[in-house]
Amino acid sequence: MNLFRKLFGAKPVQSTVRDDHEAQSAKSLSDASPRRSAIATGAPTPFQQLANERNAAATTGGAIAAEWSWRGGTSGCWIPEHEARNGRVYAVRGNWAEEKGFMTAGDGYTDEITGPLEEDECRCMYVYLYALRNVPDAMVTAAGKESLARARSLIEADRRRRSDASSK
């Protein structure tokens, strides 16, 4: 007997609402795996929850693009469209570099395609890119290239100034 019930004379509460799982037959419960049950009810799997959390963190953290990483292999993704996306870079809609005119969408936007782990049996992932220098050259506009060149020349001038000061 529960110590709380013993000390205070509390009685267990009887629920009048039947749970969805209780309504199912014992056979269907034994046949259904927790993963299949989650998919059937529309609840996100743990992998999908992880992908949603990574996406939220990346977009609020200032990611400008995402590179598709196909995860094939014995326990990986066997969706042909996902394998074809491997290495492609998709822009995050409304990012700072696009707003300033430094980059274009390239292969498209992340919200135009199904995301990693969104489909059943998918184990792909995004590698998020935060800096304009990490985006493929085809996605960088002339204004972006000019901005990168200006930043690189400032960095190089600063390096030369520091090496000259340390050699004296």
pLDDT of residue 4: 47
How far is Cα 64 from Cα 129, in angstroms, rounded to an integer? 6
What lies within 8 Å, CB to CB, of 132 at 6+ separation is 64, 97, 102, 103, 140, 144, 147, 148
pLDDT of residue 17: 44
Worst-scoring range by mean pLDDT, 49-53, 87-91, 144-148?
49-53
Q: Are 79 and 121 in contact (CB under 8 A)?
A: yes
pLDDT value at 46 more than 50? yes
CA neighbor of 85 nearest in space, from 104, 67, 109: 67
